Amino acid sequence: MNGIELGFLPVSKEDMNQLGWDRLDFLYISGDAYVDHPSFGHAIITRVLTAAGYRVGIIAQPDWQSAEAFQTLGRPRFGVLVGAGNMDSMVNHYTAAKKPRHDDMYSPGGKAGFRPDRATIVYCNRIREAFGDIPIIIGGIEASLRRFSHYDYWSDKVRRSILVDSRADLLIYGMGEKPITQIADELARGVSVHDITNIRGTCYLTKEAPAANEKLRYLPSFEETRDDKRKYAEAVKIESEEQDGIRGKILVQKHIDRYLVQNPPTLPLSQSEMDRVYALPYVRTYHPMYEAAGGIPAISEVKFSLTSVRGCFGACNFCALAFHQGRTIQSRSHKSILAEANKFLHDPEFKGYIHDVGGPTANFRQPACEKQKKAGVCKDRQCLFPSACPGLKADHNDYLELLGKLRSLPGVKKVFIRSGIRFDYLLEDENDRFFRELCEHHISGQLKVAPEHISPNVLKYMGKPSRKVYDAFTKKFYQINEKLGKKQYLVPYLMSSHPGSTLLDAIELALYLKEHHITPQQVQDFYPTPGTVSTCMFYTGLDPRTMEPVYVPKSPEDKAMQRALLQYKNPDNYELVLRALKKAGREDLIGFGKECLIRPKQQTTYKGGNKTYERKNSGRQNGVGKNQGRVKTRGGKVKRKRD
């Protein structure tokens, strides 16, 4: 069967002919391979449009070397939609060390090279070549996080809004179901794309400066943010403050001779609206044209997972989710989620295991407080940082009920939770029932959690809870598992080289890992991605919340030493750890004591009785390296001595 017979949208002229379509209404250009699953942005947007009665076709990962690949489905009637994919294309292509990645989970066979750097800009340029003056609407995570002037880690400079650089007409930021249908309806009515200026969740360019009023805030201009780091930090602070659908204001940023205007964010989806989005007729897998290449690896983790919520009021400074989806929690109904889970039961690949039930944070199922529903999220107060807000309502009852219903479905053996769990929020719940059921039913031996660090200095800049909160969670986790008779473990996500982190902070974390017998297999270097408060700190050396200076580890040596300290047991890291401890003045941690991180490099010869002892140390740390000793007798014969 071909894609059309299976229910996919057209990807070729043959598909269009089979449907009896002579022309598309909208063409969607995707940086990801075509996967018709609601975990993929292009799938949701195209399904929302087709449900509204529009004819939509998809060209996924076109050859960007010429305009011809963009013309294969013909010129659409109303416009072209562009999304770089589920990841920013530069993050997709490069590691935190700016080294090229060799794989791409969103491409055929998991191979890299199917999309260009800065995909949104490249695609828009080719579309202009292919179709000339046609409405172009950009969206997705890349466009959303680059909507204002922004620091670009890969070029190490402040770039203009992607709306300016791409020459697109409109930019949709955040989740786009509402804006895209409104834009489509306006275009279908014959309204010029240049006159569509009042839709929430969109940005547009204008040559005339909007008149100042109480519903509008001006940001420092592109030129100011490019030339003055303090101005850049001021802009980021304002952008963060106004990212709320209820109280957010119009934001304006001058770019040379034009003005970028961001309308307020879209209002949160109601539960019924969100249910409708997830009830659309997704095929729930990749297009069959990828079968020969081995399919699309990204589908494996999400095919039998359930999105239950959007938004995150955790708002960690290094995470862009709050800037993209917002801090207001939006949730699906139990009925909607159970209907999707029931579809799993008819899939021959389903083995009885639901891989996840969650979202940005799994255990958020409702807004943080009643106030948010009417007044929006607080402008100058976070819900969980530096400690839980007194108004926070920590309640897992609805989530527990949902999980219980999913466990009871016939054919379901296990329901896992693999989205992030906010352990600080969990501890705020006075009822332990969720914690117990989490350990009893929803972990497969290991629970991944994200303390990220334990140094108060670093946690302050991350916007994460204190070490004592994580310690309390850890203690309770093991107590509950002991009562249940289960041997389950915590796997902490840790980050090195975050702004604010000094060598002493990294050493403090290494000592914590030693004390608690934690050996991390992987450590994530801080990655300055567009749109985050932490990236602002990295670039400016200022905390935009306070405008106070922040130490930023930037040199390759400093970053390498901090990363090595978190894996101090690895023999390959010995020289870096040694150098770091000496540089930080912590040579007391080089020795044979139980508190030491590594052993010294040394060679000692001493006499005892009629023998001369020579002791050598390989320099490797406790439990990994081996000390070697040799015994010389008076006759000159050499024997190996056990340590």
Q: What is the chain's mean pLDDT, rounded?
A: 93
Cβ atoms of 194 and 256 closer than 8 Å:
no
- Whether residue 544 is preceded by a cis peptide bond, meaning omega within 30 degrees of 0, is no
Q: Can you list the domains of the chain with their CATH numbers?
A: 3-203 (3.40.50.280), 304-443 (3.30.750.210), 445-598 (3.30.750.200), 603-641 (no CATH)
3-state secondary structure of 56: strand
Confidence bin at 604 (pLDDT 50/70/90): low
Tokens of 581: 């401890």
**What is the model's pLDDT at position 631?**
39
**What is the model's pLDDT at position 403?**
98
Which CB contacts under 8 angstroms, 24+ apart, belong to 71-74? 71/130, 71/131, 72/12, 72/13, 73/10, 73/11, 73/12, 73/13, 73/16, 73/24, 73/27, 74/13, 74/16, 74/23, 74/24
Cα separation, 326 vs 377, whole angstroms: 9
Confidence bin at 611 (pLDDT 50/70/90): low
Cβ atoms of 260 and 168 closer than 8 Å:
no
User: Per residue in 314-331, pLDDT tens?
Assistant: 999 999 998 999 999 999
**Mean pLDDT of the 397-426 span:** 96
Does 622 score more than 70 pLDDT? no
Q: How many CB atoms lie within 10 A of CB 209?
A: 12
Does 612 score more than 60 pLDDT? no
Q: What is the maximal distance between C-alpha atoms in the chain? A: 103
User: Per residue in 1-50, pLDDT tens?
Assistant: 789 999 999 999 999 999 999 999 999 999 999 999 999 999 999 999 99
112: β partners: none
Does 54 score more than 50 pLDDT? yes
What does each C-alpha distance from 520 to 153, 261, 265, 493, 509 come to in angstroms? 27, 45, 39, 8, 12
Does 620 score more than 80 pLDDT? no
Cβ atoms of 541 and 550 closer than 8 Å:
yes
Cα separation, 141 vs 87, whole angstroms: 6
Cα separation, 221 vs 286, whole angstroms: 42
**What is the model's pLDDT at position 478?**
97
Cα separation, 505 vs 412, whole angstroms: 45
- The residue with tokens 């990220």 is 452
**What is the model's pLDDT at position 608?**
53
Q: State phi, psi for 359 to the nearest 5 degrees.
A: 180, -145
Residue 349 half-sphere exposure toward CB, CA atoms < 13 A: 8
Q: Residue 320 gets which letter from DSSP? A: -
Cβ atoms of 57 and 27 closer than 8 Å:
yes
Does 274 score more than 70 pLDDT? yes
Where are the alpha helices (H) located in 389-447, listed in sequence order? 397-407, 423-428, 433-441
460-495 as b/e, with b when 16 or more CB fall inside 10 Å? bbbbbbbbebbeebbebbbebbeeeeeebebebebb
- Report the percent of the chain where pLDDT is more than 90: 90
- The residue with tokens 């020969």 is 292
- Report the percent of the chain where pLDDT is more than 70: 93
Identify the weakest region by mean pLDDT among 11-15, 455-459, 480-484, 629-633: 629-633
Q: Which stretches does DSSP call E strand in 166-292?
A: 170-172, 202-206, 216-218, 250-255, 258-262
Q: Does the pTM of the predicted model rise above 0.85?
A: yes
Determine the angle formed by the axes of helices 334-344 and 397-407, rounding to 10 degrees.
30
Nearest to 595 by CA among 568, 559, 571: 568
Which amino acid makes up residue 61? Answer: Q
**What is the model's pLDDT at position 633?**
38
Does 252 score more than 60 pLDDT? yes
**What is the model's pLDDT at position 376?**
94
Residue 238 half-sphere exposure toward CB, CA atoms < 13 A: 22
> Residues with Cβ < 8 Å from 134, sequence gap 6 or more?
75, 76, 79, 80, 127
Dihedral sign for Cα atoms in the order 565, 568, 572, 577: positive
User: Per residue in 485-501, pLDDT tens?
Assistant: 999 999 999 999 999 99
Do strands 250-255 and 216-218 pair parallel, antiparallel, or not at all (unpaired)?
parallel
Cα separation, 557 vs 506, whole angstroms: 14
Q: How many CB atoms lie within 10 A of CB 63?
A: 13
Cβ atoms of 458 and 505 closer than 8 Å:
yes
Does 637 score more than 90 pLDDT? no
Confidence bin at 609 (pLDDT 50/70/90): low
**What is the model's pLDDT at position 55?**
98
Cβ atoms of 286 and 295 closer than 8 Å:
yes
Cβ atoms of 325 and 386 closer than 8 Å:
no
